[in-house]
Chain A
Amino acid sequence: MNTFQVLSSLSNAVGVSGYELSAVAVAEKHLANYGTTYTDSMGNLFCKAFDYNEKLPTILLDAHIDEIGFVVNYITDDGFLKISACGGIDRRVLLAQQVTVCGKEMIKGVVTSTPPHLEKDSSSCPKVEDVYVDVGMTADEVKKLVSLGDYVFIDSPARMLINYSVTSKALDNRAGCTAVIKTLELLNQCERKYNVLVCFSVQEELGLRGAKPAAFSAEFDEAIVVDVSFAKTHGESPKDCGVMGKGPMIGISPTLSRKMSDSLRRIAENKLIPYQLEVMSGRTGTNADVIGLSAGGKNAVTVSIPLKHMHTPAEIVDLNDIENTAKLICEYISDAE
């Protein structure tokens, strides 16, 4: 499968935080090509890849598999759904947005939009609490199909743009999952200096909740957390962002292992893999924050894929960046000092 096929199979699947089952099922099929898969009580998906050699250290490759979305918390007498956010949705995308409700069946809907002439202040973006999902049904019809607690996501199937870039929902962080799957594909043909344990963790968007127990029960010596980070868009400052297409962003932070950051950087230089540095001054906002603190503490580093329009259905990644992320991690695992 080419990179777009892997990525779109994952990003088109539903995996709102707390409801990752469909995305996990798709990911499991990919991972099963490389090793034994299993899930834990939270729903974290693991894969013990290739053969394990007891003499080798184990590296954990973590990528969160959940995506932002919503949950239904009320049905009005008119049959409209009130929703709450799962994760930090960019509320600039809400109004008149096309959504799917994961009820007894998949139900299409539209987020309500009050016409501008009826708004007191049409320059502000309504909050999630102020909008409804219109599924075109009466309350009686809706209640047969939708229950409180059902999940809702924004429809946005993956599409190639020009120049090997892709737009879709949920590229945060199916792009990271794709990079890990591509890493395994490359490692399949290499000598490995580590045992490889993959974890596609759940509920990251709700506060790194899946990775904490995953890291507790997993046996590993060091970890690479593969996530997305900001690619500069129009109007943003280069000091806040990476650049799309310029390679994986190697994290540097007091909370990360500088030794790992340095070796990744050296490997990228030696192997002519494009890379960028992402310097953070404390917590990274990724699963590395909790993985680094698991058990008595672990060495962890972030490798992030530049992404535009984070937490919207119009996220963009460059497939070259995903492939170079896979190359970099593969080289790290096969070429460690």
Chain B
Amino acid sequence: MINELKKLCLLDGVSGNEKDVRDYIISRISGKCEYSVDALGNVIAFVKGKKESDKKLMISAHMDEVGFIVTYINDDGTLCFSPVGGVDERVVFGRKVRLSSGIYGVVGGKALHNLSDDEKGKAPGFDKMVIDIGVSSKQEAQSVVSLGDYVSYVSEFTELGKDKVKCKAIDDRAGCAIMLRLIDEGVEYDTYFTFVVQEEVGLRGATCAAYSVNPDFAIVLESTTAADIPSASDSDRVCELSCGPVVSYMDNRTMYDRELYKLAFELAEDNGIPCQTKTRVAGGNDAGAIQTACGGVRVCAISLPCRYLHSESCVISKQDFENSYKLTKLLSDRIFSL
């Protein structure tokens, strides 16, 4: 599953431009299940189980990642850009980036030594940063860049220590990788797997996929902010790496189904899987859109604790990744007995 994650993370799929990720996922699932691609680009896969049920389960993960989009070409050939999704502007300056056309650039701006007194010590805002692709005029830039081109972080997939990995886009290719494994292994009951688009720009893909599937239950596989670093303590840490998947009772988008929440913890405990919940009401994910789809859906989210979420350096624990998969598998079977 780690190799799968690596392949998925190294693909660029900023919200609205998920094609490469979608093509890869289709190449992986075709022949194993029925699938369709809707108008937004969601992949909706139906996997026949050993048993049938009158209840419908949807398991969902998003294909898109945060990134940037080119909004203007300056006279000096540098590119203005906006974030796509929620990016902390403090993790952008001085990074290599890759445009959807395949060319590379770096995010720059004024040199440290040329900052005014007001600017010193401040994080440059998106309005103060530009992408430099190595050209010196607007004409040169226009020959290789168009407004609306997408921009991704450039990041290696790297192991940190024995149990951690680092890359961009782990949010939420990790969820996609778990779903691909579940599809490979086959399911107990008929299950819909939705690989959705545009989560990072407002849970948009899931909104439509949930309408199309019209499920009774949904399990959302996600990544969530872990602040288990020395600068944060106690409840500010929200959740911690290597303490198992995160199952939430509430976040900024969803009041989760309490029975599913309890069931997830029971299953974890019965099967010796570490599991944790968040110590702050923070974040939000596709569960929010799915819960209110059609006549209402009972939702649960299983999230991977992830440090430095939405940066080029997302860090997760491999144990947590494996345990998220195990818990998802257990819950997706048991959910049909509710």
How many angstroms from the CA of A237 to the CA of B155 in the assembled complex? 32
B97: nearest residue on chain A (CB-CB)? A314
From the candidates B94, B134, B160, B236, name the one contacting A93 in the complex (CB within 8 A). B94
For B90, list chain A residues within 8 Å (CB): 92, 95, 113, 116, 122, 125-126
Report yes or no: B112 in contact with A310, Cβ–Cβ below 8 A.
Answer: yes
How far apart are B14's CB and chain A's nearest CB, in angstroms? 17
Report yes or no: A132 in contact with B231, Cβ–Cβ below 8 A.
Answer: yes
A interface secondary structure, majority: loop
How many angstroms from the CA of A233 to the CA of B124 in the assembled complex? 14
How far apart are A268's CB and chain B's nearest CB, in angstroms? 20
From the candidates B122, B133, B134, B308, name the one contacting A96 in the complex (CB within 8 A). B308
From the candidates A97, A118, A130, A312, name the one contacting B313 in the complex (CB within 8 A). A97
Report yes or no: B231 in contact with A112, Cβ–Cβ below 8 A.
Answer: yes
Report yes or no: B229 in contact with A92, Cβ–Cβ below 8 A.
Answer: no
Report yes or no: A132 in contact with B230, Cβ–Cβ below 8 A.
Answer: yes
From the candidates A122, A230, A235, name the one contacting B128 in the complex (CB within 8 A). A235
Q: Tell which of A24-32, A133-141, A187-195, A255-263 binds the partner.
A: A133-141
B166: nearest residue on chain A (CB-CB)? A110
For B160, list chain A residues within 8 Å (CB): 108-110, 134-137
From the candidates A96, A115, A156, name the one contacting B227 in the complex (CB within 8 A). A115
For B249, list chain A residues within 8 Å (CB): none
How far apart are B117's CB and chain A's nearest CB, in angstroms? 14
How many angstroms from the CA of A235 to the CA of B124 in the assembled complex? 12
Report yes or no: A110 in contact with B225, Cβ–Cβ below 8 A.
Answer: no
Among the interface residues A123, A311, A313, which one has the most CB atoms of the partner chain B within 10 A? A123
For A76, list chain B residues within 8 Å (CB): 230
Interface status of A309 (Cβ within 8 A of chain B):
yes
Interface size on B, residues (CB 8 A): 62
> 1/0 contact trace for A140-180 toward B, CB 8 Å?
01000000000000011001011111010000000000000
Report yes or no: B163 in contact with A113, Cβ–Cβ below 8 A.
Answer: no
For B121, list chain A residues within 8 Å (CB): 91, 124-125
Report yes or no: A163 in contact with B236, Cβ–Cβ below 8 A.
Answer: no
Report yes or no: B111 in contact with A230, Cβ–Cβ below 8 A.
Answer: yes
Q: Tell which of B30-38, B100-108, B253-261 binds the partner.
A: B100-108
From the candidates B91, B104, B225, name the one contacting A159 in the complex (CB within 8 A). B104
A109: nearest residue on chain B (CB-CB)? B160
Among the interface residues B94, B108, B112, which one has the most CB atoms of the partner chain A within 10 A? B94
How far apart are B74's CB and chain A's nearest CB, in angstroms? 6
Interface status of A236 (Cβ within 8 A of chain B):
yes
For A90, list chain B residues within 8 Å (CB): 93-94, 111-112
Among the interface residues B111, B158, B162, B307, which one has the most CB atoms of the partner chain A within 10 A? B111
How many angstroms from the CA of A237 to the CA of B162 in the assembled complex? 48
Interface status of A78 (Cβ within 8 A of chain B):
yes
What's the count of A-B pairs with C-beta under 8 Å? 205
Interface status of A308 (Cβ within 8 A of chain B):
yes
B interface secondary structure, majority: loop
Interface status of A80 (Cβ within 8 A of chain B):
yes
Given A90-B94, A92-B124, A115-B225, is A163 in contact with B158 using a C-beta cutoff of 8 Å? no
Report yes or no: A314 in contact with B94, Cβ–Cβ below 8 A.
Answer: yes
Report yes or no: B108 in contact with A96, Cβ–Cβ below 8 A.
Answer: no
For B313, list chain A residues within 8 Å (CB): 96-98, 110
Interface status of B43 (Cβ within 8 A of chain A):
no
Report yes or no: B110 in contact with A233, Cβ–Cβ below 8 A.
Answer: yes
Report yes or no: A115 in contact with B309, Cβ–Cβ below 8 A.
Answer: yes
Among the interface residues A91, A92, A245, A308, which one has the most CB atoms of the partner chain B within 10 A? A92
For A131, list chain B residues within 8 Å (CB): 231
Given A98-B158, A112-B229, A114-B232, is A136 in contact with B109 using a C-beta cutoff of 8 Å? no
Interface status of A61 (Cβ within 8 A of chain B):
no
Interface status of A117 (Cβ within 8 A of chain B):
yes
Q: Which of A209-258 contact B (CB under 8 A)?
A: 230, 232-237, 240-241, 243-245
How many angstroms from the CA of A234 to the CA of B141 in the assembled complex? 14
Report yes or no: A316 in contact with B311, Cβ–Cβ below 8 A.
Answer: no
Report yes or no: A136 in contact with B164, Cβ–Cβ below 8 A.
Answer: yes
- B residues contacting A by CB (< 8 A) are 74, 76, 78, 88, 90-91, 93-96, 103-114, 121-124, 128, 130, 132-136, 140, 144, 155-156, 158-164, 166, 225, 227-232, 236, 238, 282, 307-309, 311-313, 315
Given A123-B122, A124-B122, 5 additional A-B pairs, CB 8 A: A96-B311, A308-B111, A309-B94, A312-B94, A316-B106
